[in-house]
Structure 1
């Protein structure tokens, strides 16, 4: 997707990903310009008539009853941006900022914000010139939307504030704009408020997280299948008829994936009729689809919430089609905060059950004939012992991060904004949980692959052979201890990227 066309209709999740991660360009279509011009005409009418309207002729928040003289209203908008760009902390990743800018652009293009098309042009120009504002992590309470992060973006439009460099450092905005051939803009009435009032940062993080977790849940099924195979588990609990009698949709998909990947395996066949084999496997093996499947259902809820938000007008005040300018609470991030928190809970639990399978794989008393810690020479060598320690520490962090942000609220603005969503914080911690989940699945993938290598000369499933072919060049075969940190890091990139899934699907068919 090389160009995303901005129209007076919502953008799609795929378009957000394309701009955020693939540097797709944006182009504002004529009908969007017409929609913005119509809404701006209503604001100009209000200006001429001298009517008091929040954010147009008044102050903001607790200052909403303070009238602002016409000759100072442009100054009001610039002052708003400068005062609200009050964030602190490390910068947000480029992909989050670009997603936020695109979503603010689509919000303006819906024709409900009362801004001139020139303001949207300026945002589009930043995206197309690959100029990314430096947006600090802390500052948003998720109501009135993402004020501080969006204000840091708007500062760059004014030729002020900071721009993010590829190495995470920051530069003054003015020379960067000049080098890109861009000029600062001057805001008119309502336009500063329209640039910062909305849920774009929360929504951008949620959309990125949904895409990431959708992939990671498939990889969780991959890891569960390989671990079951390496531990001589049974494939019987994953038969489709056992999941038809509990019609949870995510569970059925996860079970189907695992069942598919366990077919055509000499390892599985080697114990299928062994009376000494356990009648029932441990929960972490047998219940993998119940946990990952439940996470899939939470993901479906989050996808629905994000899709609705993409349809939404979240500015305040809004310009209705009949010319009325009305205050609204649509900027409140509760729906997005809840969704992000639910995803963090689900992802943390998927990581937790993954770590339990790792522990079982390494424990000589429970791994059904594999050497201790998957070392052919345990004692002198510790094998993957400390990799499990690392996984345990990451699981503990994810459990802390799974505590919901959205149940918190700190009143602000002289009690005018007396209940806030903390949706931005929910999105930030969700990103950390998902990054941690990638690490946990990497440890499980490494462990299961080495366990299967130790089952030779039995030939594992086609899915396992594809995984071994991908991991072996990184980790080698089980043997003398090695520097594990870079191995885990490289396997994590394998888990998070598309290549391994593609190789497995080429071997067994599509995973869902």
Structure 2
């Protein structure tokens, strides 16, 4: 969007300026700089009352122009018929509920401003908001507050000419940089406090201080901070004036309590923001609004360990004084400006932002989500200076409400009142922590957000449709999908007119039919898949499309701005998975480019000299002795890709196809394949644009490489077959490439073979399997520890001779380190030892960790191995036919991975049995009250048992099988493709079984209340309860299991584990209540509760 879409602005400029004597004359347009000079003399005598009276006349339908009898104090606005004759509109900066803000350049001076365009009809009945905002803005002048420069009026709009602020939000820069220096932090805090103190001195209360309204003046590092958005601000009429309007952010105590309040609410806001800056998470958080507001009303926040352990007392006191429940006890802005307070906080900010733990994904997500969902009232425009970027890049958080993006000023006011339903909160941004394999790369905190996208299946096509306005209807989505569908069809797909086409739409998930008059935001979620059936087409009852995005990884794609440099030697499995998620673009190192050029020059020499070399001037496999004429070498390579593109089954998801393409690029970058630099760059451009070929998952035997899937991958790059991109959805490959300004690759001798000969399908899927296995193995330790606590087990078995797993268990369960009331409750029980499923976790889980580590080494080696045939050695001037294309290494490793990681599910299912069995758990049967009427976890346990049983079959090694192919030329194969696919299935089943155990263990905690477990396990419990509520009676359980399947409890427990390991005392603690003793100790020592 490059400018405001207002078709009403067509008239010529009329400029009327009133003289002090009341005479009204025509004048040429004055510049904003001229008006600034006049403002001090003219506007200073025009008080707020006169402003309000004039505006009331305007909003009643009349003109704001005063006659000569009312002009004694001078004009404070300019009449204009067409604002575009004064300003050149550049781009939309943001859209609010009633206005649109556009970056504009004043034609007379060339100066840049932010023009806030407010339709008059949008404000009828809401005049007081804009009246108040203008009155406040005209009164203030401070270097850290966004200034009002001028006001223009047309017959349909009011235009506020604001100071342009282009540096972005405070939180955007924090997410980008990760931490602030002490000097920067000190300057930031001082500027905010100074501006707020200035406002309070003038009797102005902002009432909407939040991170979104703290902006940087420009993108430079040393930029000053600016306070914006005075739509909810208020001027106190008297010294002790109080207010009672229910508005403001973030959740003022006085507002929620429905009590009068004053400027102390701004101090509360600064306290909340300081709290978040210091620790990375909000002081109040709960998915349930009632519970959340209850926390705020009680001012119920804590300085939680371990996040606040190293934070100074002065910083805590500073926050506590600002976040006092009683307003009269809060420190004022002037007091907070004292040097020792804000500088101590600045030092702490520097220290905390340097910690890797702050970059945990859930913390940053909670901050942004919490601060936005607590907004009780909205200003005329809460996003007036925020850059709008629908396809946002990682590291750039977007704060424009997607439900209002791209509305014209005339459309804006009706958007929130069409259905009469309560306001829907936007979905939280997704924040991901990425740690690449290279030691030189630092963890990068990425955030993605933007307009919602939907994938629509129309006949044989998958189409991605971005939705600029969430209030659009399902009918709009259908018509938009049909428009895109007929673009791909020479005969328009038999559709004459889109508007005359009848259709039905349903969600692919759950297969529910959608009413075409429903609004998208009410029935669909971002990245949902839907099926559109045109009247006369068949929509079978059991139709479930092969969804290209149905993998465990994220389906959403936002173009990244970070790069990974590939050299063929240093890529890791973690890097590859992140590339699959679309978190990075790719580029080659100069050294890799040089090797590629050299190897290609050698191949060109071979062709020029008419040498006979396999795959370059000969046929393939059985036809290796057939020499091909030079004139047909290009056709040879094209035929190779077409004939070998014979795979079947569901397509790989976009994430897995990205991984496949990235890995093939990495192998080619080694310079042993003979591919040209031009072709390699074309592949990189396709990857960076996320143009991904249709690659069926079945058809590879794993030698000579993954021929079928890699042929499908290369065929799309040739412009043949199907291809997917976020911009086009599924369509003909040629169309998708053209839509992104890319050309199909033109194959040179040997290049077809170079693109398909290798183990990249096995290895890329194996990389995902091993990374997910590593993650779930960590999860398993935490979940098992929680189960052990619920079953009142002992930590005595986890002595210092045990290593990593036992250490994790002790760090979570050691009641000397983390006091546990549950552990205290069975201090002197008569049990001697636990069942194997609890006592032997270090041994069972431990070998799984060792297996994963072993497999990961093999996969990382394979990722950076040349697997082509023949291989080109430019430095030696020769080609060699080898066997690196054989997938036996990764195949055997992934069979081993499946066998190893399966055991996590096997032992977890037995623990679920113990939780559900009342004779073993001393808890209600199946963890539910009123057994018989309710069945509780009865069938959830059966689901776990079924998954474990299925895994037992999947753990049968596929690599022990082999079949002779290609007329006995390729007479031993690895079957690695199936090894990789079933390893992923095994890992997914393990994740699901452990999700069921986590739910069961948390439900068990409910029956032990009011007793509390250790602090880290309580945090794990709290995290689960933010997603799934306790079972009081039976309810639909499958969605809860799916929700917890996606939950990462490791992130919340890791800081406690790390802290324990640093303070670890090797000997076991016989006096701990979790260490069983048949007889009480003769003289129990006094126990000190550690906070």
Q: Is this contact kept in 2: 1:505–1:511, CA < 8 A?
A: no
Could you say which residue in structure 1 is the equivalent of 2:223? Answer: none
Structure 2 partner of 1:271:
826
Q: 1:326 and 2:880 equivalent? A: yes
Matches within 5 A, 1:278-289: 279-289=832-842
Alpha-carbon shift at residue 169 of structure 1 (Å)? 7.3
Contact 2:690–2:725 (Cα < 8 Å) also in 1:
no
- Alignment partner for residue 986 of structure 2, among 433, 451, 473? 433
Displacement of 1:508 in angstroms is: 4.7
Change (3 A) 1:386 1:165: farther
If asked which structure has higher relative contact order (CA below 8 Å, sep 6+), I would say 1
Paired residue for 2:923? 370
Q: Over aligned residues, Cα RMSD in angstroms?
A: 1.8
What's the CA shift string for 1:199-242, capped at 9, x where partnerless?
Answer: 1111111211221111100100011101111011111111223x
Shift of residue 156, structure 1, vs aligned partner: 1.2
What CA distance in whole angstroms lies between the structure 2 residues aligned with 1:122 and 1:380? 63
> Which of these residues, 204, 227, 231, is aligned with residue 764 of structure 2?
204
Of residues 949, 953, 959, the one that matches 1:400 is 953
Partner of 1:219: 779
Deviations 1:297-318 (CA, angstroms, capped at 9, x unpaired): 1111111112222332111000
Per-residue deviation, residues 453-510 of structure 1 (Å, max 9, x unmatched): 211121111122112211223332342111111111111111xx3xx22222344546
Offset of 1:30 from its aligned partner? 2.8
Q: Give the direction of change, closer, same or farther, for the CA distance of 1:360–1:207 in structure 2 (3 Å limit).
A: same
What is the distance in 2 between the residues matched to 1:91 and 1:230? 43
In 1, Cα distance between equivalents of 2:956 and 2:1059: 35
2:941 is matched with 388
Q: Residues 415-430 of structure 1 correspond to what in structure 2 (within 5 A)? A: 415-430=968-983
Distance 1:222 1:510 in 2: 15
The residue number in structure 1 matching 2:404 is none
Q: Relative to structure 1, is the Cα distance of residues 373 and 25 closer, same or farther in structure 2, using a 3 angstrom cutoff?
A: same
Aligned residue pairs, count: 496
Picking from 128, 131, 138, the partner of 2:691 is: 131
CA deviation map 1:118-176 (0-9, x unaligned) = 11111101111111111101011111111111111101111101113669973210101
SS in 2 for 1:238: coil
Distance in 1 between the 2:645 and 2:845 partners? Answer: 40
Contact 1:449 1:464 in 2 (8 A): no
Query: Are 2:706 and 2:761, in contact at CA under 8 Å, matched by a contact in 1?
Result: yes
Q: Matched residues in 1 for 2:941 and 2:1031: separation? A: 16
TM-aligned CA distance change 1:15 to 1:475, over 3 Å: closer
Please give the alpha-carbon distance, in whole angstroms, between the structure 1 residues aligned to 2:783 and 2:675: 50
User: Partner of 2:813 in structure 1?
Assistant: 262
Unaligned runs of 5+ in 2: 1-443, 445-561, 1062-1091
Query: Which position in structure 1 is the counterpart of 2:913?
Result: 359
Pairing 1:122-271 to 2, within 5 Å after superposition: 122-164=682-724, 170-241=730-801, 243=802, 252-263=803-814, 264-271=819-826
Q: Secondary structure at the match of 1:474?
A: coil
Among 307, 312, 315, the residue aligned to 2:865: 312
More displaced, 375-384 or 327-336? 375-384
Runs of 4+ displaced beyond 4 Å: 165-169
Question: 1029, 1035, 1039: which is aligned to 1:482?
Answer: 1035
1:8 deviates by 5.3
From 622, 626, 632, the equivalent of 1:72 is 632
Say whether residues 1:17 and 2:577 are aligned partners: yes
Instruction: Say if 2:901 is the partner of 1:347.
Output: yes
CA distance in 1, matches of 2:724, 2:981: 18
Matched residues in 2 for 1:350 and 1:88: separation?
Answer: 32
Report the counterpart of residue 121 of structure 1 in structure 2: 681
Partner residue in 2 for 1:108: 668
Larger Rg: 2
Q: In 1, distance between residues paired with 2:806 and 2:639?
A: 56
Q: Equivalents in 1 of 2:870, 2:926: separation in Å?
A: 61
Distance 1:168 1:199, change over 3 A: farther
Quote the Cα distance in structure 2 between the aligned partners of 1:477 and 1:41.
67
Distance in 2 (alpha carbons) for counterparts of 1:127 and 1:376: 54
Structure 1 residue matching 2:920: 3-state secondary structure: coil
Q: TM-score, normalised by structure 1?
A: 0.94
1:251-296 deviation line (CA, Å, top 9, x unaligned): x211111121112222122213212x2x121111111121111111
Aligned-partner Cα distance in 1 for 2:675–2:681: 11
Please state if 1:60 is matched with 2:620: yes
SS of residue paired to 2:618: coil
Superposition deviation, residue 17 in structure 1? 2.4
Counterpart secondary structure, 2:919: coil
Question: 2:1052 — aligned with what?
Answer: 503
Distance between the aligned counterparts of 1:339 and 1:306, measured in 2? 8
Matched-pair contact (CA < 8 Å) for 2:574–2:771? no
> Residue 236 of structure 1: SS of its match in structure 2?
coil
Contact 2:786-2:1017 within 8 A present in 1 as well:
yes
Q: Deviations over 1:102-124 (max 9, x none)?
A: 11111111111111101111110
Q: Is the 8 A contact 1:21 1:95 kept in 2?
A: yes
The 10-residue stretch of structure 1 (410-419 or 264-273) with the greater mean CA deviation from structure 2: 264-273
